[in-house]
Amino acid sequence: MWKPMLPTFVEELSKDTEKWLFEVKYDGFRCGLEWTKDKITLWSRNGHDLTPNFPEIVLWCQNNQSYINHLLPLFLDGELVVLKTPYHSIFSLVQQRGRLQSKEKILSFSQKRPATFMVFDMLKSEGKSLQNKILAERRKYVEELFSRFGSFKGRLQIVKVYRSLRDLEQIVFLHQAEGIVAKQRDSKYAEAKRTNKWLKWKNFRSVQGFITSWNANNDYFQVEIMSDHPTSSLPIGKVKNGLKENEKVTLKRFFKEKGYKLNGFSWSLPPSICVDIHCLNVKKEELREPLFRQFRFDLSPEECTWEKVRIGLAQLPDEIDITKPDKNLFPSVNKRNYVLFLREVAPFLLHKLQNKRLTIIRYPDGVNESFFYQKHLPEYAPSYIESVIGEDGEKDLLCNNLRSLLWFGNHGALEFHAPFQQVDSSYPDEMVFDLDPPSLNEFSLAVSAAHYIREMVESRGYQTFAKTSGKTGLQVHIPLEQSSMSFQETREFMEAVAKVLVDKFPSSFTIERLKKNRGKRLYIDYVQHAQGKTIIAPYSPRATKEATVATPLYWEEVNENLNPKNYTIHNISQRLTEKGCPMQQIDIAD
pLDDT of 585 reads 62
Going from the C-alpha of 229 to that of each of 147, 226, 275, the distances in angstroms are: 58, 8, 21
For residue 586, is pLDDT > 70?
A: no
Residue 340: name the closest of 319, 353, 325, 362 by CA: 325
Burial of residue 240, with CB atoms counted within 10 A of its CB: 0-12 exposed, 13-18 middle, 19 or more buried = middle
Calculate mean pLDDT across residues 504-513.
Answer: 96
Read off φ and ψ for residue 409, nearest 5 degrees. Answer: -60, -40
| Phi, psi of 186, rounded to the nearest 5 degrees | -100, 15
Please, which residues have CB within 8 angstroms of residue 503's CB and are 6 or more apart in sequence? none
CB 543 within 8 A of CB 414: yes
Pairing relationship of beta strands 233-239 and 220-226 according to DSSP bridges = antiparallel
20, 81 contact by CB (below 8 A): no
So where are the chain's domains? Answer: 6-202, 205-314, 328-419, 430-530
Distance CA 76, CA 580 (A): 26
Q: What is the pLDDT of residues 51-109, one digit of tens each?
A: 999 999 999 999 999 999 999 999 999 999 999 999 999 999 999 999 999 999 999 99
Is the backbone peptide bond immediately before 382 cis, with ω within 30 degrees of 0?
no
324 assigned to active site: no
Quick one: pLDDT at residue 152?
62
Residues 105-162 have pLDDT tens digits of 999 999 999 999 999 999 999 999 999 999 999 999 999 999 998 766 689 999 999 9
User: What is the model's pLDDT at position 232?
Assistant: 87
pLDDT recorded at residue 238: 97
Quick check: 207 pLDDT over 60?
yes
- 116-142 burial: b if 16+ Cβ within 10 Å, else e: bbbbbbbbbbeeeebeebebeebbebb
pLDDT score for 151: 61
- Overall average pLDDT of the 42-59 stretch: 97
Q: Give the count of alpha carbons within 13 A of 36, CB side only.
A: 5
pLDDT top residue among 298 and 231 = 298
**Torsion, Cα of 361, 366, 370, 373 (10° steps):** -10
- φ/ψ (deg, to 5) at 143: -65, -35
Give how far Cα 140 sits from Cα of 131, 132, 136, 382, 481, Å: 13, 14, 7, 43, 27
Q: Which of 19, 25, 188, 283 is catalytic?
A: 25
Give the N- to C-terminal CA distance of the chain in Å, as an integer.
Answer: 37
Q: Which stretches of 137-258 are assigned E, i.e. beta strand?
A: 156-158, 179-184, 194-202, 205-215, 220-226, 233-239
Band of residue 351 on the pLDDT scale cut at 50, 70, 90: very high
Q: Are 430 and 409 in contact (CB under 8 A)?
A: no
Give the pLDDT band (50/70/90) at residue 16.
Answer: confident
Please tell me the distance from the alpha carbon of residue 144 to that of residue 136, in angstroms, as a whole number.
13
Which pLDDT value is given to residue 589? 41
Given a contact cutoff of 8 angstroms between Cβ atoms, the answer to whether 397 and 376 are in contact is yes
pTM to 2 decimal places? 0.95
Please state, rounded to an integer, the average pLDDT across all residues of the chain: 95
- Angle of helix 165-175 relative to helix 335-353, nearest 10 degrees, comes to 130
Kindly state the average pLDDT of the residues 561-574.
97
DSSP 154: -
Candidates 2.170.190.11, 2.10.77.10, 3.10.105.10, 3.30.70.3300; correct CATH number of 430-530?
A: 3.30.70.3300
Q: Is the pLDDT of residue 587 over 80?
A: no
Q: Determine whether domain 205-314 maps to CATH 2.40.50.140.
A: yes
Measure Cα distances from 33 to 30, 484, 544 in Å: 10, 38, 49
Q: What is the distance between the alpha carbons of residues 434 and 534, in angstroms, rounded to a whole number?
A: 11
Helix (H, G, I), strand (E, B) or coil at 417: strand
CATH top class, domain 6-202: alpha beta
Q: Which residues contact 431 (CB under 8 A, 6 or more apart)?
A: 420, 477, 478, 480, 485, 490, 493, 494, 529
pLDDT reported for residue 588? 44
Q: Is the pLDDT of residue 590 over 80?
A: no
Average pLDDT over residues 261-283: 95
**Distances in whole angstroms, Cα of residue 80 to Cα of each of 5, 27, 215:** 16, 9, 35
Residues 6+ apart with CB under 8 A from 464: 453, 454, 457, 458, 476, 477, 478, 555
pLDDT per residue over 419-453, tens digit each? 999 999 999 999 999 999 999 999 999 999 999 99
For residues 30 and 15, give the distance between their C-alpha atoms in angstroms, rounded to a whole number.
25
Give CA–CA dist 42/34, Å, rounded: 6
